[in-house]
Amino acid sequence: MAGVSYYAAAAAGTGRPCVVQFGAAPNRSRRVSRTRLRRRNAGGRFGLDSNSELQVDVKPSSGSMVEIELVATNTGSALALHWGALQPGRSEWVVPPAGMRLPEGTTRTHDDAALRTPFKTSGSNSTLKIEIDNPGLESIEFVIVDEAQNKWFKNNGQNFQVHMRPPAGPHHQGQQHSATAGSIGRKNRDVMQLLSKNASTGDQVNEATGTTSAKCTVLDLFIKSLQEKHGSQVLCKKVFKLGEKEILALMSQVQGSTKVHLATDHVEPLILHWALAKKAGEWKAPPPGIVPAGSTLLEMACESPFSDAELNGLHHQVLEIELDEDSYRGMPFVLRSNQTWIKNGTSDFYLDFSRRTAKSSEVTLPFSFSPILAKNLLQKSSQNHMLIFFPCIKGTSDGSKGTAKALLETIADLEEDAQRSLMHRFNIAADLIDQAKDAGQLGLAGLLVWMRFMATRQLIWNKNYNVKPREISQAQDRFTDNLQSLYKMYPQHREMLRMIMYTVGRGGQGDVGQRIRDEILVIQRNNDCMGGMMEEWHQKLHNNTSPDDVVICQALMDYMSSDLDIKVYWDTLNKNGITKERLLSYDHPIHSEPNLKSEQKEGLLRDLTNYMRSLKAVHSGADLESAIGTCTGYTSESQGFMVGVEVNPVKGLPSGFPELLKFVLDHIEDKSVESLVEGLLEARAELRTLLLSSTERLKDLIFLDIALDSTVRTAIERSFENLNNAAPEKIMYFISLVVENLALSTDDNENLLCCLKGWNHALEMSKHSDDQWALYAKAFLDRTRLALATKGEEYHGILQPSAEYLGSLLGIEQWTVNIFTEEIIRSGSAASLSLLLNRLDPVLRNVANLGSWQIISPVDVAGYVVVVDQLLTVQHKSYDKPTILVVKGVKGEEEIPDGVVAVLTPDMPDVLSHVSVRARNSKVLFATCFDPNILSELEQNKGKVLSLKPASVDISYREIPESELLVSSSIDTLDGQKTPSLSLAKKQFLGKYAISAEEFSDEMVGAKSRNIAYLNGKVPSWVSVPTSVALPFGTFETVLSDKINKEVAQKVKILTEKLDQGELGALNEIRNVLLNLTAPTYLVSELKEKMQGSGMPWPGDEGEQRWEQAWTAIKKVWASKWNERAYLSTRKVKLDHSNLSMAVLVQQVVSADYAFVIHTTNPSSGERSEIYAEVVKGLGETLVGAYPGRAMSFVCSKDNLESPKVLGYPSKPIGLFIQKSIIFRSDSNGEDLEGYAGAGLYDSVPMDKEEQVVLDYTTDPLITDCSFRTSTLSSIARAGYDIEQLYGGSPQDIEGVVKDGKIYIVQTRPQM
């Protein structure tokens, strides 16, 4: 029976270290203060010392009986419980409590004040059970004593306390969390309530609140209409105020035409008085050919009337002007309403054409970010550092590819003005918000890069410009208000906007900023420190305050607290990047050191502590105390300058939220951080609903959430030392906390939430001693790593090009630019999570007996070590000597390069992936290394000759002389790789465009189709084979030669000649040209007849569009003959590519629950008596198509098909699903040649697009239901065995699916 959900302090622990005292008596005079934050419905766990833990479970039994179970791990044999019971409202222990059976061996202490009960020892663990049947007792209180050493274990200096029954009071009911003096109860919420997905437009409805995130104006709708209906690209735009109304002026481009659009919500009819300018200040009448209808040309201008329009019921006026050339610099204009002239203040309106956002080519990312490419990123970390490897980026000649180029160039143009002061910088940033927004995500990335360069002091903050603090805070406030507006309107950019706000800081209106200037005077006067360093700092503050002042203030406080130790002052400054040189670089430099007196200490500490609040309120985006004060409100209790300062609380905060935040502040310095982190996460979860809505003072809540997030990270980092000898369950729990924190900071967090559910499930499995827990947890460790890699790649692709281009424009030091993205990642929770994963990985591998390697293709080899980043980049290279490749990234679809004898990688391609099959066929050692230290050692052997000998879960290696290599077996291996030339007989068209399965023959179709036809009617009744028809060999060539496709054929002929001359770029061109083929009427009618005659649905019956979808899929299959990988593979083995013929196997798609691939001989060991299989959720494309992550893998003895053994649980984050559809499978005459693994080279294309679903394995019965898993895997293995028997025991490579428990076989071929 599960434990009750109302654990109190001690029972709810998850590893809190206890205070160890020798010879100390327990506290019996009062009840313990509760120091734990509780996640309901989970066990309690505490660290007794560095190697021992205490687990406490409370279980209700019959009636009022409660059973309390305590388990202490890694303890001595003389452990005892020193304890008593408590009644409600009483602090004295009840000994012994009435109505209970005392555990065996229990005695009273000599003063009759407590009970002493020995634990029972079993191995290294000690256990104890207590049963209490007395509803008048509320809890038990205890300490642990090691009687052999007279050592007492307490809970942070207090007694442990375990509640047996729910405390009274309405705040414990339902979903409410409670906050008492030292305990918080986490709400029992579904993890998926934290789900956040990217939205495509700004006018989105929040599911959590049912409200729109922002109300679109008619001008917003106008821009949206231009972009969606007309495909216009906005090049530049500006919105001007017309009193309470606005006018929008923008330049767009569509299909080579450049236009200026004006739109306004002004009610009265308007006339545009306008001109064009090729230089500043010019008014030049436009050419007559471009003026809109109804216009009047004047000597130096033109007057054009606006037209009435309506969008979504909103009235507005519009005007469109098409430009005749691209040399104009801008458009000056004024407006006339009746006889009233309307200007932009005292100036003309002006749309600056030179401030264009990037053209489409300028905002194209340098490479795409498909889920498959997530595996291109390898993360390695240790306790002190994290390294992230990114793919190389080749930009345009000026380095601007993948950026909002025009915005970055504008920033560079304005940087000199921005350096005058932070006020100037923030005002310029506020002015650039619209341009950044128009450039989309890359525009915001540009702003973030600029602000980050500022925050890291790569840019000048002040050039001798006297600015008041309140002016800085007002500018900062204006900028962050604009960011807040974007946060409301564009949910898909919230993550980026949070990062900008974190970098910038909160700001403050009027009084808060001015107090920085005023309060320092009061501090000096009240504490008699008018000269020296304090006066120099005052002058600096008076002239231009900056974030450095937060550090200087903290350094002064540390100096005062250390009894005036000047070394402490400098330590604080230097740790935060402030040197003597920097102090001297201010416009008002600080030359002096503080020279204060001990009698000034008390007053200065008090006043500087309060002064820090003002500094942080302006400068810090992640200061927790000031963020909490801003949201919950406060009235200052300090003396003098702070009297009367009031901040009103944000309205609509959740019930109990202020108490929750108080709990966080009370525990902010705890050495053991679980309670603190749980409280921080509970606060973030509570904030989430408010952050999704258009709450008043949303900005303050965003900064509070940023501060909570930042505090989680620092708390986790503080705990690392305590985790050195921690049990794996404790590390897993910390990982779950950090994953939750990362999910709360991520826009598209579904995968992270599924990871979180997986970690929680792994903890439950461990708690219940499930022997599969470590193997299961390893799968989620791999999936979490993959999620981090994907995120790192995303950040690098979005931010790094902007950092490099803007850095070059601003002259930023190159080393700073090079590590820009890595430093962004280091500053968040991802870095902490990576460290925790690396700490847990070897522990899980040890428990699950996985070893440091997975051997995919076992071969003894020797060769020269070469280190490469991606196998994809060298797959067609030819090495002239035996080569061992140490590769950071392997996707699974690559070829093994000529001359390579081994591929060693930290990546985890499926054992049955294309590259794995290639390695085994070519007798190449292929293995995954899970230990980064081993991989690093191998990389350090670059250029040396190594001999490698694989075992079952390990590889031994040694350096050998080159002379030994010459006579080693690797030469034979290398010779064996030189595949002899193969030949293909060109297939002829035999007069039929479509055939049924009964007509399948060697001359008509490939082995894939023939094998399916052979299986039909021969497999057991519980195995099904989909109905099939085919487009036979020669059909493609006949269609291409048809007169209706003459133009396509001519283009293909020209491109083929280019290809024969070595121009590989022609491959992609050929594939695109073939999509223009037209289907002859004979093909359509014959295919329809055969499909309907076989009982398959005809797509054309659902409309012409459905047939076009089917025809496009067929053409894509034919075109896959010219895939780069397939073409080069045939050329490598000297196959005549022109003789390759492509039949198309047509089958109805089975809407699979699971898909599998079986090898009836274990490919890793070569064991003929053992079946090996891999299973994925959904369609098999995620398995055979090298999607990231690992499939579930298992082996099964042919002598015992009822007992499959799971080798690994799945880590693939994505599943593909499809409803009723048709799939068109490639079936070439080159896929099953002996000695040539051609399977998987060509495409199979479904008529409909698959739906990508983020997989939640915690609800999948294949993972969570042991009996279902055994039954399903056993059925898959039995199907493989039976099919192998149909082929006389010849090993088979079989693909199939499971639907509603039934097995379907979609193809089989000889195992290579």
Which residues does the annotation mark as catalytic?
Answer: 914
* φ, ψ of residue 1130 in degrees (nearest 5): -70, -40
Q: What does the alpha-carbon distance between residue 197 and residue 191 come to, in Å, rounded to a whole number?
A: 14
Largest CA distance in the chain: 112
| The Cα angle at residue 358 between residues 355 and 361, in degrees rounded to 5 | 155
Q: What does the alpha-carbon distance between residue 551 and residue 555 come to, in Å, rounded to a whole number?
A: 6
Supply the DSSP string of 515-536, one letter for each residue: HHHHHHHHHHHHTT--SHHHHH
Six token digits for residue 1256: 């939640």
Task: List CB contacts of 1300: < 8 A, sequence separation 6 or more.
Answer: 1153
Place of tokens 């064991």: 1167
Q: What does the alpha-carbon distance between residue 811 and residue 412 come to, in Å, rounded to a whole number?
A: 10
* φ, ψ of residue 486 in degrees (nearest 5): -65, -35
Q: What's the alpha-carbon Rg for the chain, to the nearest Å? A: 36
Handedness of CA 1151, 1155, 1157, 1162 (dihedral sign): negative
Q: What does the alpha-carbon distance between residue 1160 and residue 1168 come to, in Å, rounded to a whole number?
A: 7
Closest of 631, 926, 735, 687 to residue 194, by C-alpha: 687
Closest of 353, 392, 398 to residue 806, by C-alpha: 398
Closest of 785, 783, 787, 759 to residue 773, by C-alpha: 759
| The Cα angle at residue 581 between residues 575 and 583, in degrees rounded to 5 | 75
Residues present in the chain in total:
1312
3-state DSSP helix/strand/coil % of the chain, to nearest 5: 40, 20, 40
What DSSP designation does 419 have?
Answer: T
Q: What does the alpha-carbon distance between residue 918 and residue 1186 come to, in Å, rounded to a whole number?
A: 14
Handedness of CA 895, 901, 907, 910 (dihedral sign): positive
Q: Which helix (H) or strand (E) holds 1264?
A: helix 1261-1264
The amino acid at 1204:
P
CA distances (Å), 477 to each of 49, 417, 429, 619, in order? 49, 19, 11, 11
SS (H, E, C) 1159-1195: ECCCCCCCCCCEEEEEEEECCCHHHHCCCCCCCEEEE
Closest of 1135, 1156, 1119 to residue 1023, by C-alpha: 1156
Six token digits for residue 61: 């039994």
Q: What does the alpha-carbon distance between residue 41 and residue 56 come to, in Å, rounded to a whole number?
A: 13
Closest of 738, 786, 778, 734 to residue 758, by C-alpha: 778
Using CB atoms within 10 Å of the CB of residue 856, give its burial: 0 to 12 exposed, 13 to 18 middle, 19+ buried: buried
Buried-state track 432-452, b at ≥16 Cβ within 10 A, e below 16: bbbbbbbbbbbbbbbbbbbbb
Instruction: Provide the H-helix boundaries in 494-619.
Output: 494-504, 511-526, 532-543, 548-561, 566-575, 580-585, 601-619
* φ, ψ of residue 1031 in degrees (nearest 5): -95, 110
Q: How many helices (H) and strands (E) does the chain have?
A: 37, 51
Cβ atoms within 10 Å of 424's Cβ, excluding its own = 21
